[in-house]
Amino acid sequence: MAEMQTYIAWANDSNILGSSASGGIFQALAKYFLTGLSTDDVERTVYGSWQDNQRFEVKHLGVYKQEDVDLLIGSKYYQSRMEGIYPEIKKKLLNNQMILFSGTPCQVAGLKSYLKGSGVKEISKLLTIEVLCHGVSSRKVILHYLEWLEKKSGKKIKDLHFRTKKRRWYDKGSSMEIYYNDGSMRIMNRYADPFYLAFNHSMSLRPSCYSCRFAKIDRIADITIGDFWGAEKYIDDKQKLHNGIGLVMVNSDTGREFWEKAAGIITSFPADIQKAIPRNGAIIKPVKKPTSRQIFFDSLDMCEFNELIVKCFGRKRLMKIRIKGAIGEERIKQIKRTVFHRT
């Protein structure tokens, strides 16, 4: 096993960077995988999660064209369905086809376990990319949230994007875009929106996420990608920070070989993993289950979603969180530095 290498990185293609939730790493690597490796006739498939906005469910699917990779981009904060995907990948590998599989660490582990258990010994044509995951919600939670939003607005929701860069990405944080069937759109602030508050404070996660066996420094996938919170230690260009910065962990020989081949499409610099851990705790351990989680799920079917959040957080705590969001994390840090210096 190769020694892990860590990078701060972002896609060179401005279109990819602009449409991504972070540094555009998955989109760039997936498109390169499909057409950039060679000119041979080996069939290649990229598997990732896709959100079905007719039913508001997330499921994995395979794509073969660069333009179809766009179906798989963006964060999804609830569980992806995997029916039929592992057997499909097994069949393709046995037919000597090349596969890039992207998912959460537990989904990557599930694929590897399935292949091993079904007698597939040769997986050199399989490349796995995991997202740095702090946990996922169940579909029930997102459906309850969308039902509340539709009732509140009086409009039908036709699409949602869990992360957008329409606000200052690094300082203000990611926000959610909600699209209605009348053509209107609303941006949901992560410091004020009840779903974001529940998710970011680990209240709405599945039970297994709190004891995840894969949230550790020894990663299960060939490549790990995520946000590089803490990137200001390396980059002082505010615009670059707000465009989106990725964390990349190259964990295996297979991952390293592919990463080196794709070097021309991504800007990257070696980084100290220890500088990323403080704000990316899932690198080394699962999230802690909050005491409010029990209240959240016990009350989920009995309260409107906004009332549920007030019940879990309390009005005073919610007010503090929303003030922090209005000011911005970067501005708060500046104020603290000024106060500390003067005293």
Query: Which pLDDT value is given to residue 49?
Result: 96
Q: What is the DSSP string of 190-251?
A: TTT-HHHHHHHTTSSB-GGGGG-TT-SSS-SSSEEEEE-TTGGGT---HHHHHH--EEEEE-
Judge contact between 25 and 100, C-beta under 8 A: no
Query: Which pLDDT value is given to residue 329?
Result: 65
Q: What is the pLDDT along the chain (343 residues), one digit of tens a residue?
A: 568 999 999 999 999 988 888 889 999 999 999 987 765 678 999 999 999 988 899 999 999 999 999 999 988 998 899 999 999 999 999 999 999 999 999 999 999 999 999 888 878 899 999 999 999 998 999 999 999 999 999 999 999 988 776 665 565 556 789 999 999 999 888 888 999 999 999 999 999 999 999 999 999 999 999 988 878 778 888 778 778 889 999 999 999 999 999 999 999 999 999 988 988 899 999 999 999 999 999 999 999 999 999 999 999 999 888 887 777 666 766 776 677 665 4
Q: Map out the domains of the chain as residue ranges.
A: 5-136+205-283, 139-204+291-342
Q: What is the reported pTM?
A: 0.91
Query: Which pLDDT value is given to residue 189?
Result: 83
Residue 190 CB partners (closer than 8 Å, separation 6+): 173, 174, 175, 176, 196, 197, 200, 325
Residue 44 CB partners (closer than 8 Å, separation 6+): 33, 34, 37, 64, 97, 98, 99, 100
- d(C-alpha 54, C-alpha 159), whole Å: 9
Tokens of 31: 């498109």
